[in-house]
Amino acid sequence: MAFIFATISVEAAPNNIPHKPDYSHPKGTSPWPNYGERPKTNTPEVKAWIKLVDWSKVPKIPVRDVESPGDPPECPKGDVPKEDCWWTCTGCFAPDDIVDCPAKNAWGLTFDDGPKPGTTENLLNLLDERKVTATFFVTGMNSMKAPWLLQETIDRGHHLASHTWSHSGMTTLTNEEIVAELKWTEKYIYDHTGYKIKYFRPPYGDIDNRVRAIARQLGFKTVIWSSEWDTQDWQLEEETITSRQIIGIFKNDLQSLPKRKKGVITLEHDGDPKMTVMARTLLEMGQKNGMKPMDIAQCLGDKVGYNAIPAPPPKLKSAKKPNSDIVKKPVPTHDDDENENDDNDREESDKDDTPMAAQVPPHTQSESSNSKEESVPGSISGKAVSPGKKPSDAQRSYNTAGLSVACWTLAALAVSLVL
């Protein structure tokens, strides 16, 4: 334990990553909802999305009370109807709620509330170092501040999912507001990456059967987390918990692993440097106890992980140039042999050109064989030639000059012998 405490006592490494431009827009100029506000429900986009839902299949459960907009709801003093299956106040899970991984020891690693410039990059670096992938449940609002991090997260092998637009308690929203929160987040991620998200996690885990029915009809699968596997790291930012307390909670959770028949899904956050430091400690503890971290798609055996992904570009054959574009060869010179070799080299190079494949998450890629570059040993003017690299014009000239001097020397020697 001394080692663990030494680890968490170290502050997060200073953030030297240059931040990219702020992509948020002044109010009224953005094609998206205004930053810092809930999406409006009277826009043409939301009106069209509302029509996607069969409202006769949505239970008539009342909107929950909340003290302040954006906060989790307040539980009533009386009993909550069992048919509501309201997780926040009863801990109820619906049959299709995703709360654990099917395989024993599988660890669904998830981070909520990003992206955040600097913090997200540091977290991605940690996951690269540990050679594991995770699911990032991002909010639409935070994505507006760092849209480039959406594609970077995918490019580095991870999985994106929705944490709604404004991080409001879902049961505190009207039906129309729920639609707007889910669909605007989906659209923002799709427009910036080409990936159409499949999974969503309600902020605070706040969900009931009304919210589920709407999300289900819009094509989303609900992910919460395994009971007792909330790491409580979100309290680090508020300084309402210590690092030692979080480690103690996680250690107790690890003791229950041998009795579990399934894997777990944990809740962590992407928002504060202290959370990244804690993520390292928890990863080390979990892996030492046989847990196998992975993103939610891998945890569920979902080979795609999205409702739609970018199609790879078609493989194009090299088109022949029309006669009008053919360039006539120059007048032959004493370097004809060299020019002929250069043309052959260029033709061979053209044959190797292939279109770049579209970015696909690691769980959708097939293994590709690594092409080995053919080594061409040799030296010119005493300098080794890099494998597969042609000598420069200056090197050719130097070599030609050297051969010419050698030939003249031999000729002079032959003449002197005859005389």
CATH number for region 96-325: 3.20.20.370
User: Is the overall model pTM greater than 0.85, yes or no?
Assistant: no
Whether residue 346 is predicted with pLDDT greater than 70 in this model: the reply is no
Average pLDDT value for residue range 351-375: 40
Provide the pLDDT confidence category of residue 31 given band limits of 50, 70 and 90: confident
Average pLDDT value for residue range 208-220: 99
Average pLDDT value for residue range 104-130: 97
Q: E strands, 52-210, where?
A: 106-108, 110-112, 135-138, 159-162, 196-197, 199-200
Average pLDDT value for residue range 112-124: 96
Whether residue 18 is predicted with pLDDT greater than 90 in this model: the reply is no
Cβ-proximal residues to 406 (8 Å cutoff; 6+ apart), any chain:
none
- Cis before 115? omega within 30: yes
Measured CA angle at 142 (ends 133, 128), to 5 deg: 20
Confidence at residue 238, expressed as pLDDT on a 0 to 100 scale: 87
Confidence at residue 230, expressed as pLDDT on a 0 to 100 scale: 96
Asked if residue 285 lies in contact with residue 247, where contact means CB atoms within 8 angstroms, the answer is: yes
Report the range of poorest mean pLDDT among 178-187, 292-301, 410-419: 410-419
Work out the percent of the chain whose per-residue pLDDT is above 70: 68
Work out the percent of the chain whose per-residue pLDDT is above 90: 62
Confidence at residue 358, expressed as pLDDT on a 0 to 100 scale: 37
Confidence at residue 23, expressed as pLDDT on a 0 to 100 scale: 55
pLDDT per residue as tens digits for the range 181-211: 999 999 999 999 999 999 999 999 999 999 9
Asked if residue 107 lies in contact with residue 291, where contact means CB atoms within 8 angstroms, the answer is: yes
112 a catalytic residue? yes
Q: What is the distance between the alpha carbons of residues 175 and 223, in angstroms, rounded to a whole number?
A: 20
Q: Provide φ and ψ at 405, rounded to 5°.
A: -60, -40
- Terminal-to-terminal C-alpha distance of the chain: 95
Residue 294, sorted as left (phi over 0), alpha (psi -120 to 50) or beta, turns out to be: beta
| Catalytic residue chosen out of the listed positions 84, 100, 112, 272 | 112
Confidence at residue 352, expressed as pLDDT on a 0 to 100 scale: 45
Sheet holding 292-294, edge to edge: 264-265, 106-108, 292-294
Whether residue 252 is predicted with pLDDT greater than 50 in this model: the reply is yes
Average pLDDT value for residue range 139-166: 97
pLDDT per residue as tens digits for the range 50-76: 999 999 999 999 999 998 888 899 999
Whether residue 11 is predicted with pLDDT greater than 90 in this model: the reply is no
Confidence at residue 138, expressed as pLDDT on a 0 to 100 scale: 99
| Catalytic residue chosen out of the listed positions 167, 206, 269, 270 | 269
Compute how many other C-beta atoms are within 10 angstroms of the C-beta atom of residue 71.
Answer: 15
Tell me the average pLDDT of the chain: 79
> What is the chain's length?
419
Average pLDDT value for residue range 265-269: 98
Q: What is the distance between the alpha carbons of residues 185 and 189, in angstroms, rounded to a whole number?
A: 6
